[in-house]
Each structure stands twice: as structure tokens, then as C-alpha cells.
């Protein structure tokens, strides 16, 4: 009595059950909600069950392909990043500029406000983010039908106005997507640069492919990104060896089963049991990824 059971898994079939096939049987524990409420409110990463399904439905239009495929915004931030790097001395710690770049891009992608650079303690930083986004969100919520008709469907104010008229709901969703898009991207880019910097041959191949596909001055198009296959391999390999989200957590919302390890019986999880999804651990398994423990050659995935 009173004891907590925690299953730590690095079995792909168990990941699949928890995150996909038995999605409705798992959620976030009350401590998780409490921990994240000041930042994420009732957004997509802090809700369960029907509320989560509704939140997912709300977020989808924010990240649809026709918005993502407009690369002008991404290009502008990439140029800004490069100009800052080029203005500095030969040795640069890339992590900080990548975090700023990712926050700037994600903010601008969601809301055309000044890039959010929160400083200071946690709650002050959250308040500052809220103050930056409030005018844009209030503007979207206040739009009447005749004004909405004049906006393009890919306009973020249009998307937001259609999602909900409740300021808190909108705020929580936008904050969640900012969280989702910033640290993950910045950490992945930082690790990719770190990984590849140790392998000059891989670095040379990335350069060659970018020149071959885009030319020296061409602006990338969404379609051209498809042809950057080696670059994609570098990112894939980075996400395997050094995943930005190392572990994930869930709690059984009801008593359920998940597959056992290969050749073993199913595992019964009681309502309230916790699961730690050890992504880094799974990615390091020799039986799943033989000979693929080092960054050395991203072409292995080609
Ligand atoms: C390399 C970059 C990224 C990585 C490694 C990453 C990783 C993840 C992971 C592991 C989850 C699952 C979280 C969970 O269920 O507990 C997730 C969900 C999500 N991510 Fe990302 N992410 C990345 C970039 C982005 C970007 C750029 C955006 C949007 C601007 C984004 C938006 C979302 C959303 C909306 C969800 C929730 C999806 C749902 O539950 O339906 N992510 N991401």
C-alpha cells in the first residue's frame, strides 16, 4: 500500500502500445499537471483523455503543411543566425545562438511579435511571454466574421480565431507549441553541429549536397528540402544518438496490458502505475542498431 510502481522501458513494442495503439489508456500524472500548469496551463502537453483530443484538434491547423512550406520566414532567421555567427571570432559556442534562433523562428511562425527572449526567474519569464503574445491573441479573438473572411486561411490570426474565443485556451495552446518547437529544434541543431564537426568527411558531404541541390545562392523551397537526403540523414542520426527528448513519462489511466519483451508474456499495468519511456536507452541498443553507435557515417541510412 502506498508504494508506487514504475516501469522503465526501452522496448519498441511497448513504446508503440503506450504512445499509439493504447494511447487512451495512458496520460500524464497529477504531479505532472501541477508542475507544468503555470507554463502550459491546459495545453496539449498537460491534458489527457477527451480534453487532449480536443487540444490536438486545435493545434493541428497551426502546424499544417501549407504554413510550414513557406520557407521565407525560416530563411530570414537562418540569415540572421549566419550574420551573427560570421560577425564573431573563429570559435563560437553554437548552442546559445541556436536556442535564440529556434525561439525566434517558432515565435514568428506562431505570432508576429518581437522574438521572445525571456530572462529572469520562471514566473517572470512566463509573464513576459504572455505580455508579448496578448495583443496579437486579443486581436485574433476580437475579429468579427466579415474581417475573418478577408484573411487568408493560412493566416495565424484566422487559425486562432477559428480555434477558440477563450483567451486562456488559446494562450495555453500557443505556449505549448512554442515549447514543442523551440528546445527540441535548438538542441537537435546543436547536437548535429557537434556530431558532424568531428567528421570532416561527413561535413564535406553535407556542403556538397547543399551546393548541388540549392546552388550557392538559391533560396531553399519546401520541395528542394526533399532532395537534401544526406542532410536529412544527419538530422535523423542526431535524433537517434542524441535525442532532444531523452525520456518521456506516462501514467496508466486504467488497468491495462502492454506487450512483454520478445518471447515474454504481456505486462499488466495497474491504474496509476507510471511508465518511463527511455528513448535514449532504446536508441543505444546494440541489438536494434548494430554497428551504429557513433556518428561516423550518416550515409548508413541512405
Ligand atoms: C527536432 C525537433 C523536434 C523534436 C525532437 C520533437 C519531439 C517531439 C516529441 C518526442 C513529441 C511527443 C511528446 C509527448 O507526447 O509527450 C512531440 C510532440 C509534438 N510536437 Fe514536436 N518535436 C520537434 C519539433 C517540433 C516543432 C518545430 C513543432 C511545432 C512548431 C512541434 C510541435 C509538436 C506538437 C504540436 C506535438 C504534440 C503532438 C500531439 O500530441 O498530437 N515539434 N514532439
DSSP H/E element including 249 = strand 247-252
- d(CA 177, ligand 1 centre) in Å: 8
What mean pLDDT do residues 218-225 have?
86
- d(CA 68, ligand 1 centre) in Å: 14
**Burial of residue 291 (number of CB atoms within 10 Å: 0-12, 13-18, 19+):** exposed
% the chain with pLDDT above 90? 44
Instruction: Please tell me the least confidently modeled range out of 3-17, 63-77, 269-283.
Output: 63-77
- In the numeric block, which cell numbers belong to residue 201? 568527411
What span, in angstroms and rounded, lies between the C-alpha atoms of 147 and 45? Answer: 32
Q: Is the pLDDT of residue 53 over 50?
A: yes
Instruction: Supply the pTM of this predicted model.
Output: 0.86
Structure confidence by residue, pLDDT tens digits, 232-280? 999 999 999 999 999 999 999 999 999 999 999 999 999 999 999 999 9
Sheet holding 26-27, edge to edge: 6-9, 274-278, 247-252, 26-27
Q: What is the dihedral of CA 144, 150, 154, 159, to 10 degrees?
A: 0
Nearest CA to ligand 1 atom 24: 181
Structure confidence by residue, pLDDT tens digits, 108-127? 888 766 655 555 577 888 89
Nearest CA to ligand 1 atom 21: 180
CATH architecture of 6-301: Orthogonal Bundle (1.10)
Phi/psi of residue 292, each to 5°?
A: -125, 40
End-to-end CA distance of the chain: 52
Amino acid at each position: 500500500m502506498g508504494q508506487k510502481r514504475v516501469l522503465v522501458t526501452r522496448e519498441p513494442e511497448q513504446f508503440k502500445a503506450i504512445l499509439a495503439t493504447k494511447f487512451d489508456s495512458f496520460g500524464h500524472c497529477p504531479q505532472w499537471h501541477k508542475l507544468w500548469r503555470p507554463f502550459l496551463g491546459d495545453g496539449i502537453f498537460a491534458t489527457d483523455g477527451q480534453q487532449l483530443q480536443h487540444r490536438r484538434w486545435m493545434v493541428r491547423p497551426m502546424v499544417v503543411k501549407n504554413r510550414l512550406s513557406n520557407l521565407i520566414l525560416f530563411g530570414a532567421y537562418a540569415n540572421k543566425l549566419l550574420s551573427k555567427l560570421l560577425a564573431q571570432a573563429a570559435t563560437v559556442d553554437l548552442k546559445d545562438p541556436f536556442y535564440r534562433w529556434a525561439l525566434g523562428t517558432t515565435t514568428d511562425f506562431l505570432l508576429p511579435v518581437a522574438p521572445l527572449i525571456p530572462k529572469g526567474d520562471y514566473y517572470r519569464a512566463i509573464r513576459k511571454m504572455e505580455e508579448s503574445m496578448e495583443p496579437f491573441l486579443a486581436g485574433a479573438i476580437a475579429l468579427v466574421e466579415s474581417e475573418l473572411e478577408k484573411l487568408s486561411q493560412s493566416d495565424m490570426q484566422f487559425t486562432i480565431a477559428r480555434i477558440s474565443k477563450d483567451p486562456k485556451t488559446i494562450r495555453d495552446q500557443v505556449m505549448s507549441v512554442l515549447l514543442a518547437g523551440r528546445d527540441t529544434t535548438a538542441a537537435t541543431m546543436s547536437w548535429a553541429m557537434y556530431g558532424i564537426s568531428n567528421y570532416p568527411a561527413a561535413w564535406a558531404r553535407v556542403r556538397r549536397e547543399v551546393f548541388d541541390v540549392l546552388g550557392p545562392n538559391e533560396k531553399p523551397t519546401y520541395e528542394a528540402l526533399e532532395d537534401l537526403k544526406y542532410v536529412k540523414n544527419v538530422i535523423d542520426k542526431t535524433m537517434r544518438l542524441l535525442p532532444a527528448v531523452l525520456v518521456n513519462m506516462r501514467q496508466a489511466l486504467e488497468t491495462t496490458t502492454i506487450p512483454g519483451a520478445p518471447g515474454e508474456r504481456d505486462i499488466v499495468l495497474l491504474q496509476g502505475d507510471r511508465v518511463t519511456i527511455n528513448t535514449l536507452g532504446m536508441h543505444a541498443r546494440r541489438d536494434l542498431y548494430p554497428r551504429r553507435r557513433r556518428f561516423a557515417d550518416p550515409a548508413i541510412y541512405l
